[in-house]
Structure formats: C-alpha cells, structure tokens
C-alpha cells in the first residue's frame, strides 16, 4: 500500500512546487530565529528574499553538528519551550549530546513519515509490530512506535535487549514485523538456532532495520536465517529520526520523504553539488519542521541519489545504502562514536597521553570495541594492581561517555603507529 499517493507518486514539477513553497517559509523562520544561521547568511550577503525556489537551495550556507553542539542544549530551537512536546538526543563528540526538540506538529509529521516507511516495507494494519529498538533519548524506539500506531498496526513496545523475551513474544503474540538494528536481528537469529526454534514456526515476515551500516551480504544472511524480507530504513535524530527515508519492497534504494526533507549530494571537499547520480555527502534541509528546522545539514553520510521512477510506483527520490562517512564517525552497535571523543577523554585524564588505537571487531553478530592505550613512563607502575586500576579507570571514563562497553588494553609506548602528521587511530575489522 502507498500511504500518501498524492505525494509519494507526485510529478517532479509538483514536488518542486511544494518544496519551494516550504523552503521559502523555513528560510524566513530560521533567519529570524537562529542567530548563528542568520550570521552565516549575512556573511554570504544573503537575505531570505534571495531564496525564491528550491533551485536557490545551493546558495544557502551549511549547518553542521558543531553548530548544534555550540548551541547546546536548546539554542537551535525556533519555538518557545512551551510548544516543545518531546526532546530526543544522540551522542555527541565531546560528551555533550546533540539535542533535538519536537512540537506537536513535528511529532505528527514524523509519524506520517514513519507510516509511509512502514507501508513501503509492506506493513499493513493487521500486522503485529515488535519494536526492539531502544526506547528513550534515542529516536529509534519512539519513532517506529508512533508511526506504527498511526498506521493502525499493533505495537509491541518491547525495546532492545532481553533476547529470550523477544523470542517468547514472537512465539506467543505472533509478531509479523521486527524493527531493530540489523546486528541485533542477526543476534536474535542465532539465538533461535541455539534454542532449536525454526523461523518457520514464527509468523515473522518483514524486518525493518537501521541505525547502523549494513551490507547486502548481511541482508542476505538475515533473510536466509529469519525467512523474512529485510528492509533498510534511514534517519538521523538531527533531521527527525528514523523514517527520513526507507526502502520499498523492491529493495532498490531508500525513498526519501522529500516533501519534508530535501536531499542534496555535495562534494565534501569542495562543498559544491555533484553531478546528478554521483556519490558524495548527503545534505538535508528540513522544510516542515518547527522545533528545530535545519537548512543544508551535513549528514556526513556518503551516498548517491536516484531520480528514476521506482517499480513500486513511487516517484520519491531514492538514496542508495550509505557507502561510508566523510568524517571519522564510527557506528558501533547503533551508537555514534567519534575517535575525537576518546581522545578528549584520554586528554582529560592526567595519567594518559592521547596515543590510542581503536580496534573494532564483529564477534558473532555483535560489535566489540577495544581501545589500546600506550603506557607512558610517568604513569607506569611496577605494581599490577596500579596498572589494573588505571585500566579500570580508563574503561569507566570511556564507557560512561560513549555509552557502550569497551575493552581497554595497555600497550608499550610508541607501539601505536604514527604516520606523518596524523596517527592511524582506527582499525575496523568488521566485514560490513
């Protein structure tokens, strides 16, 4: 089913018209309400009157995660707090989360987009949707929840973890749709194998997976192990959360809800738009959001856009699975981790120097993060307990900031490779 056929199958001209009208209004609101963005426009000699249609989009300055961080916590909100009904946040680069606020309209707009995504994935009113994304500050759980309710399907708001219970409810309630991270889907699949439960004894038929990068091979593995169709959903909390785009049953790129979020692809070096169809950094402008509208927000995700009409009938532009990042952000178990975060934590500790190496592995289906730290002379003790206390302290500091478990390994000084200028900080052994 296509939830909003008028929009999802609109002609390009009609879409441009909607986008232009909404963009013009958003630019005005941002200009008058967000001082840092007004300053950026003024520096380019721009006033809101210079933006007459979506064709003028590339004249506008960019918004970055740094802008959001610098205006922490609520400096990017364009409405009074009395109109904000919900706050979400994602992990940030220096321990400060990136905070987003939603008005009542934002929540219903977000729900509409998630509902469209669910329909793209082939979900309908009679489905039993098990939401195993985390509920809380993370947008995954509540985002899917509201979209599913809006569709009229039944929600099982089980949240993440507690795999045995997940499986029990799948059996007892007859869940037909599973929403979680792709790595957790594989984890559940392996738990089923261990418990000798055949996927055919379950009613699962669709999985909606996102919040971390996954490959076509991983899709094949999940589909083979769970006997379901695995659908990729994309989103980021800065833009709205999950449902910015989603695959349809053709599994041929994710349809962007571009009447709310205009996508562009830029060259991350020159910051100029790339030629149509070329890979570059994905940039979004939100054109209906009230709480925290963002113009030309740099996602740092690398992908390309496909403007052809899809076999499913939708004309919404599609984005390919993300091919990587234009910055050094890592996504480990759905959590955003920047090497610079780890560096600042180590710098804050007087005992350590910021020479470290991150080793990411995928053990079974779960990602593991090992942090190697060089033992410097000034904090070397010849007593094991002192070094173990130090290891524990580093582990504690890292875990409380990053929000994922970390193994800390002390290594000899100068064993972490230094290359000219920039040291190699990350070894990612995951086969994604």
Partner 1 sequence: MIIKQLSVFLENKSGRLNEVSGLLAEAGINMSAFSIADTSDFGILRVIVSDPERALAILREKQFSASLTEVVCLICPNEPGALARALDILSNEGIQIEYMYAFSIEKSANIIIRPANVQKCINALNMHQMELMKASDLYKL
Residues that bind partner 1 (CB under 8 A): 375-377, 380-384, 387-388, 409-415
Bridging pattern class, strands 366-374 and 406-411:
parallel
> First and final CA of the chain: distance in angstroms?
31
Contact assessment for residue 318 and residue 254, using Cβ atoms and an 8 Å cutoff: yes
Q: How far is the CB of 381 from partner 1 (least distance, A)?
A: 8
Closer CB to partner 1, 197 or 387, in the complex: 387
Residue 63 has which token pair? Answer: 């918004």
Closer CB to partner 1, 162 or 388, in the complex: 388
Rounded CA separation 432/424 (Å): 20
Closer CB to partner 1, 223 or 353, in the complex: 353
Rounded CA separation 127/158 (Å): 16
Q: How far is the CB of 359 from partner 1 (least distance, A)?
A: 13
Nearby residues of 168 by Cβ (< 8 Å), 6 or more positions away: none
Beta bridge partners of 130: 156, 178
Rounded CA separation 268/311 (Å): 31
Closer CB to partner 1, 171 or 388, in the complex: 388
CB atoms within 10 A of CB 200: 8
Q: How far is the CB of 376 from partner 1 (least distance, A)?
A: 7
Cα 24 to chain centroid distance, Å, stands at 27
Closer CB to partner 1, 279 or 387, in the complex: 387
Closer CB to partner 1, 364 or 413, in the complex: 413
Closer CB to partner 1, 217 or 376, in the complex: 376
Number of H helices, E strands in the chain: 11, 21
Give the residue among 218, 222, 216 at the shortest CA–CA distance from 253: 216
Q: How far is the CB of 385 from partner 1 (least distance, A)?
A: 8
Residue 351 has which token pair? Answer: 């005992």
Q: How far is the CB of 399 from partner 1 (least distance, A)?
A: 18
Closer CB to partner 1, 25 or 410, in the complex: 410
Closer CB to partner 1, 311 or 396, in the complex: 396
CB atoms within 10 A of CB 342: 25
Q: How far is the CB of 417 from partner 1 (least distance, A)?
A: 13
Among all chains, which residue has been given the structure tokens 């991350």?
268
Q: How far is the CB of 346 from partner 1 (least distance, A)?
A: 16
Q: How far is the CB of 411 from partner 1 (least distance, A)?
A: 6
**Backbone φ and ψ of 363, nearest 5°:** -95, 115
Rounded CA separation 95/401 (Å): 6
Rounded CA separation 340/355 (Å): 11
Q: How far is the CB of 349 from partner 1 (least distance, A)?
A: 17
* Distances 91 to 27, 98, 112, 379 between C-alpha atoms, Å: 27, 6, 26, 30
């Amino acid at each position: 089913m296509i939830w909003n056929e008028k929009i999802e199958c609109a002609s390009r001209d009609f879409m441009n018209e909607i986008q232009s009208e909404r963009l013009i209004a958003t630019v005005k609101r941002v200009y008058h309400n967000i001082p840092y963005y007004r300053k950026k426009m003024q520096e380019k000699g721009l006033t809101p009157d210079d933006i007459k249609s979506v064709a003028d989009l590339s004249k506008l300055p960019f918004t970055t995660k740094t802008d959001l961080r610098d205006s922490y916590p609520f400096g990017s909100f364009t409405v009074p707090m009395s109109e904000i009904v919900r706050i979400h946040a994602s992990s940030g680069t220096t321990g400060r989360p990136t905070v987003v606020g939603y008005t009542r309209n934002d929540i219903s707009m977000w729900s509409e987009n998630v509902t469209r995504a669910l329909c793209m994935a082939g979900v309908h009113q009679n489905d039993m949707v098990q939401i195993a994304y985390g509920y809380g500050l993370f947008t995954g759980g509540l985002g899917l929840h509201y979209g599913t309710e809006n569709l009229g399907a039944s929600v099982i708001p089980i949240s993440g973890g507690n795999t045995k219970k997940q499986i029990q409810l799948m059996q007892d309630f007859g869940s037909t749709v599973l929403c979680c991270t792709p790595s957790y889907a594989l984890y559940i699949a392996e738990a089923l194998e261990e418990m000798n439960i055949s996927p055919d004894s379950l009613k699962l038929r669709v999985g909606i997976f996102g919040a971390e990068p996954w490959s076509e091979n991983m899709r094949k593995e999940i589909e083979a192990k769970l006997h379901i169709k695995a659908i990729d959903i994309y989103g980021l909390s800065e833009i709205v959360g999950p449902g910015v785009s989603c695959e349809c049953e053709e599994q041929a790129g994710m349809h962007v809800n571009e009447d709310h979020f205009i996508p562009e692809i830029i060259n991350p070096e020159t910051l100029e738009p790339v030629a149509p169809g070329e890979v570059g950094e994905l940039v979004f402008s939100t054109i209906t959001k009230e709480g925290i509208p963002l113009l030309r927000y740099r996602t740092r995700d690398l992908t390309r856009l496909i403007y052809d009409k899809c076999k499913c009938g939708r004309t919404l532009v599609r984005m390919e699975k993300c091919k990587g990042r234009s910055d050094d952000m890592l996504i480990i178990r759905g959590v955003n981790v920047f090497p610079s975060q780890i560096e600042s934590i180590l710098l804050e500790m007087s005992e350590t120097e910021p020479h470290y190496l991150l080793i990411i592995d995928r053990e079974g289906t779960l990602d593991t993060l090992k942090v190697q730290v060089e033992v410097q002379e000034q904090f070397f003790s010849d007593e094991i307990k002192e070094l173990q206390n130090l290891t524990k302290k580093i582990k504690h500091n890292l875990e409380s900031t990053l929000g994922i478990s970390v193994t800390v390994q002390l290594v000899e000084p100068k064993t972490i490779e230094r290359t000219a200028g920039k040291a190699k900080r990350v070894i990612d052994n995951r086969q994604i």
